[in-house]
Amino acid sequence: MKYPVILITFLLFSFFASAQVERKPAKADSSATTSSVNKMNEQSKKDRMKELDLTKEQKLKMKEIRQSGKAKRESIENNTSLSEPEKKKQLRALQIEQAQKIQEILTDEQKAKFKAERQNRQ
């Protein structure tokens, strides 16, 4: 007699416990996806910078380049007078400018590592 009562109690408990599971919608939130991709990119950037073995001076210059680039990028993205193709063109020019500035602060060995890593990503 105890066995069927225990079994029924267990089944009822399992049924009600599974009913409490919160289901996520099938479509993922784009902002959550974007933030996770950004976190992955940030981590890979940090890993690449560690591989270059930058000096303190180089790290400071790199930080300045990134900060100025971020400010310029935001101003381009927020400029409502530009069309999308114009924004893309200016953002690409900014990327090229930043890459050149980075190349200027690297040693020949670091440049080779940087170039090799860049080719591996593409």
pTM as predicted: 0.58
| Domain that includes residue 99, residue range | 55-122
Which of the four pLDDT bands, split at 50, 70 and 90, describes residue 116?
confident
Residues 107, 113, 114: CA angle, nearest 5 degrees: 85
Residue 70 lies in a domain: yes
Residue 62 lies in a domain: yes
CB-CB neighbours of 62 under 10 Å:
17
Residue 61 lies in a domain: yes
Residue 78 lies in a domain: yes
Residue 71 lies in a domain: yes
Residue 3 lies in a domain: no
Residue 88 lies in a domain: yes
pLDDT one-digit tens code per residue, 38-89: 666 666 777 777 777 888 999 899 899 999 999 999 999 999 998 999 999 9
Return the pLDDT at 14: 72
